[in-house]
Structure 1
Amino acid sequence: MERKNIQWMMDARFGLFIHWGLYCINGVTEWKRSYERLTIEEYEKYFEEFNPVDYDPKEWARMAKKAGMRYAILTVKHHEGFCLFDSKYTDYKSTNTQCKRDLAREFVEAFRAEGLRVGFYYSLFDWHHPDYHHYGDLYHPMRDNEEYKDYEYDFNRYLEYMHNQIRELCTNYGKIDILWFDNSYGEMRGEKWKATELVKMIRELQPEIVLNNRLECNASAKGSLSTPNPTAYAGDFVSPEQIVPPEGILDDMGNDLPWEACCTMNNNWCYTPNPYNYKDAKCLVRKLVECTSKGGNLLVNIGPNARGRFPKPAVKVLHDLSEWFEDYGKSIYGCGKAGLGKPDWGYYTRNGKFVYAHLMQQEIGPVALNIPTSEIKKIRRVSDGSEVLIVKPWVTELFPGYTFINFQEPIQGTFLLENDIDTVLEIEIK
């Protein structure tokens, strides 16, 4: 069942993910405590050191908006349990570090001021809370530490803590557009989180909020959202990770499901000083177009550093994205599947009577559109509104079901791409 409240998100198509916490200091992974089996005491040095003196969310928001992003999601609590918001239920929060700032509040205010929608990522599991599973858990740093074999905890007390924090997020920060949960695993899913009760509270406090599907499953599954009778906690969209679905995502009845693919910009969710392996603007634009053509969104992650700045390679990528969006943004926003199949030279997206041809490959002659000429009113370049010619050279006579196009001249020459990332044409259908 598709909820009307998700329409704005599916029109936006492009979002910014921000993974930021104490783990930005280690510069390796947000999973450091788990991978290295670190105790709370061994990890405490990051809490004592955390002080992002250069944090300027207004600058983040300006860069994101210029780069074509229409919404942003901040990790207000990751698996390490550290909170970027001023929760009254824990001392493990940014307002108790050297910076003494509610970083989530500043994020919300800055991004809203730029007209961007805002969301919170919240980890369902918590390696800092004393009442979360320790020994025998799949991920907890103490999962195989014999000293915790007889450790007593009250999981209901953790659930009360978790629900109370989510109530704070839904109450103290104005309108929140997205809650992005991460994630269910093994037996830790659905009602193990008291999910029906949790979602009832969330939707009462934030009636228009959009939820992902991870209260019920992980990145590799659709969950009951795909069935005729989804649970109350099935969420509003599917959230594949580090992959673009080969053919989009359909429910069990064959209908389109809302989905959002999330990916890292440089193979890491958290900050790493490694300046290599960044996906460039060409890659991200083309993946965004692919997602849009399949009815989905793309959420691209940046990990700010310990000083609170976006890494310089990420800033360059955002700048390069802004140049493409300045010319071609209308071929993404409000667009979706075109119903025309995938052409060899790129992708189609569509918004009502306008079909957008995303040309990503240089052709050796006229470009073939699998749209009959009789259905086309006109074709224009999106970047400047100039006319694109429909041509009928003798070499195309074998293919009457196609429309062939070229720039102004030469008539039978090669269609030269104006943008080597993606040159976009607007085809108005009669």
Structure 2
Amino acid sequence: MRKNVLYRCLCCFTLLAIPANLDAQTTASKAASELKPLTNSDFETGDLTGWKHWRTKFCSISKDAYSGKYALQVGPERAFGVQEVKVKPNSLYRISAFVKTDSGAEEIQLKISDYGGASLSVSSALTAYTKVSLDFQTAFSSDNLLISFIHPTGNGSGFADQIELTYLGEAPAPKIQEFVKIPERILKEDVGVSQLPNEKMKWFLDDKFGMFIHWGVYAAMPEGSEWVRHTEAWGQEYYQRRARDPKKGFTAAKFDASQWADIAKKAGMKYMAMTSRHHDGFALFDSKHPSSWTSKKDLGRDLVKEYTDAVRASGLHVGLYYSPMSWRYPGYYDVTGKDCKPNVWGYKTAAWHKADAKDMKEEVYEQVTTLFNDYGKIDYMFWDGGWLSQTVNREVELAFWDPGKYQNPNNEWPINEKFITKEEGTNKPLGIMGLVRKFQPDLVVNERFSWVGDVHAEEGGSATSGDIRYEQYGEKCLSLQKGGWGYRPNGKVFSFEEVAVFLSNCVVRNINLLLNVAPDREGVIPQNQQEVLFQTGKWLSKVGDGIYGTRGGPWQPLFGEYGFTFKGNKIYCHIYEGYRDFKSGTFTTQSLANKKVTKVINLYDGKELLWTKNKNKTITIAGVDYSLNSAATLLEITLAEPVFK
């Protein structure tokens, strides 16, 4: 469908889109910019110098420029051009660029992130160069900025040229906050299925901290991690032969699911989610589909059953990960058999791809039904990879997968009757979410299978920022191992202090942290990962009251400085090294209005602290020993009444 708008606002902020024939708004501070120039902001080097960030992909240099000789071309299909730069903390900025597309059906986005605020984006679908602009404020404790140009989908491309980053002055001092107003959650219905109500979401909101586990045959490939078959462009036969090598392949010889659950509990985690199948199509359970490749066939073991039984016995909530996409099927890149998308294996358009894609879909339906039917109660499902051809296009995803309550009887990819489950009474064939609600009615799922999701997934090693997430429950997933989700030999890991801040940053914004571990080919979680987990668990044994069972609030967080959680009549202050009065040994809250404080303690050692009520209805707490744990200090404020009545 042709877009007829100039831009789309993705976040509530000052977003400007200015026609190219108008002068940009001038600012007195522009000439006095206090920022080092962007690298190759006009692309006149004729190459991607400065834009070779690890997230950059499917980008090139074009001679279709706004000015000069060269511009950045982003695309075709899903593509990114990314640069990370240094900025001044606690400052106001404007970033602008000239952008265009080569078709009105395409779109290009300018996005900024990692500066201490919520990600902001402005888009254009115009085929003539147009100036777009974003105003933003960097955090007091942040000097980074990630600039991204994104072409979300489509056979065409987007173009960008003449990027400017302008310093607009120092940011104003933060204002004293009153208690936030918590909106009522309105359940969303999508493709015939409604989100779970609050009472069924409570366990998830209370647990806060979970263990993610990426484990599969890729753990036996030292060249990479879970995407190794894709990054190395290996064929299925070679990849499978490597996986089955009895000496160096995937053996699971030391896999003990009870030991994994014990590690998770010692780390203070309350739920777990293991990959039952990743994008390589290897299933860690007993799939009956004739095309399946499974641990039951290769090793004679149902690893998912061992895992679900052990986790359930441990008292933790049972979660799984499942990816419907599979590199084993060329049809994944060419579901219609008429338009093969770019891929590392060099697959070209072929009519037989449509039937191949249908076979892939049938395998997914058989496997999802098996997981829901044969493994007892499952509490959580992390979908991943519902997009086709590694390109986001929800219209095609809906048509292909039938992700809603029912399958479309006129679907172009009808699956075999033996892989269909029908609704009692109506005899209608159930779609993916129909299967979820039939077999696992309390299952919490995310949005990565073309359904709105009970939970929104945020991903990656960037610090969590922005305001409290009230209207859409959320979860951040992060790999403890730096670089890749699957096992890498001698992989470096985040420190305990970094993990503590990641977790705290999540809970003050009302979202969970799902922290990934990467077991080796035998099923052993590396020692350096275990050590960080155990340190985290010891910290949580002291400060867990400010984490578990809480909700974000009653005030908005300030990135890198502080945030808050609450439950009952208690408020928990989470204070970080970036707090501007960190060295004073004090902490000043936001406005408590007429709430009466009865006690304040440092959660880590239980020591009671002195406090003073200020004229602006804040309190200043004295004698805070930040040295007990400088990563994230938690103070508990007890009120004479509930925080919210």
Q: Is the 8 A contact 2:468 2:552 kept in 1?
A: no
Contact 2:464–2:502 (8 Å) recurs in 1: no
Q: Which residue of 2 aligns with 1:227?
A: none
Q: Which amino acid aligns with 1:235?
A: G
Counterpart in the other structure of 2:297: 96
Aligned to 2:220: 25
1:363 aligns with 2:583: yes
Alpha-carbon distance, 1:384 to partner = 4.4
The answer (yes or no) to whether the contact 1:13–1:333 under 8 Å persists in 2 is yes
Distance 2:379 2:312 in 1: 11
Are 1:376 and 2:572 counterparts?
no
Q: Secondary structure at the match of 1:195?
A: coil
Q: Specify the SS of the correspondent of 2:551.
A: coil
Larger Rg: 2
| C-alpha distance in 2 between matches for 1:244 and 1:139 | 32
Paired residues of 1:127 and 1:141 also in contact (CA < 8 A)? no
- The AA in structure 2 aligned to 1:264 is S
Q: Which runs of 5+ in 2 are unaligned?
A: 1-186, 188-194, 405-430, 641-645
Pairing 1:132-281 to 2, within 5 Å after superposition: 132-133=332-333, 138=341, 141-142=344-345, 144-146=346-348, 149=350, 151-154=352-355, 155-183=357-385, 184=387, 185-187=391-393, 188-196=396-404, 197-216=431-450, 233-242=451-460, 243-248=462-467, 256-266=471-481, 267-276=483-492, 278-281=493-496
Structure 2: how far apart are the matches of 1:356 and 1:25? 44
Matches within 5 A, 1:288-327: 288-327=503-542
| CA shift for structure 1 position 211 | 1.0
Q: 1:423 to 1:315 in 2, by over 3 A?
A: same
2:472 corresponds to which letter in structure 1? L
TM-score of the superposition, structure 1-length normalised?
0.85
Identical counterparts, % of pairs: 29
Q: Which amino acid aligns with 2:392?
A: G
TM-aligned CA deviation for residue 245 of structure 1: 4.6
How far residue 171 of structure 1 moved from its aligned partner, in angstroms, is: 0.5
Which of 613, 629, 632 is the matching residue for 1:419? 629
Q: Structure 1: 5+ residue runs without aligned partners?
A: 217-232, 408-413
Which of 190, 196, 220 lines up with 1:3 in the alignment?
Answer: 196
Residues 31-82 of structure 1, C-alpha deviations (whole Å, 9 max, x = no match) = 2222222211111223312212111111111111111111111111101100
Greater relative contact order (Cα < 8 A, sep 6+): 1
* Alignment match of 1:85 (pick from 263, 268, 285): 285
Q: What's the CA shift for 1:141?
A: 4.9
Task: Find 2:308's aligned residue among 83, 101, 108.
Answer: 108
In the alignment, is the contact (CA less than 8 A) between 1:127 and 1:140 conserved in 2?
no
Normalising by structure 2, what TM-score? 0.58
Aligned to 1:124: 324
Look up the equivalent residue of 1:77 and give its one-letter code. R
Task: Give me the CA root mean square deviation.
Answer: 2.4
Query: For residue 609 of structure 2, what is the aligned residue in structure 1?
Result: 388
Partners of 1:244 and 1:261 within 8 A in 2? no
- Worse overlay, 167-176 or 54-63: 54-63
Q: Contact 1:55 / 1:308 at 8 angstroms: preserved in 2?
A: yes
- Looking at structure 2, the residues matched to 93 and 385 of structure 1 have their Cα atoms a distance apart, in angstroms, of 51
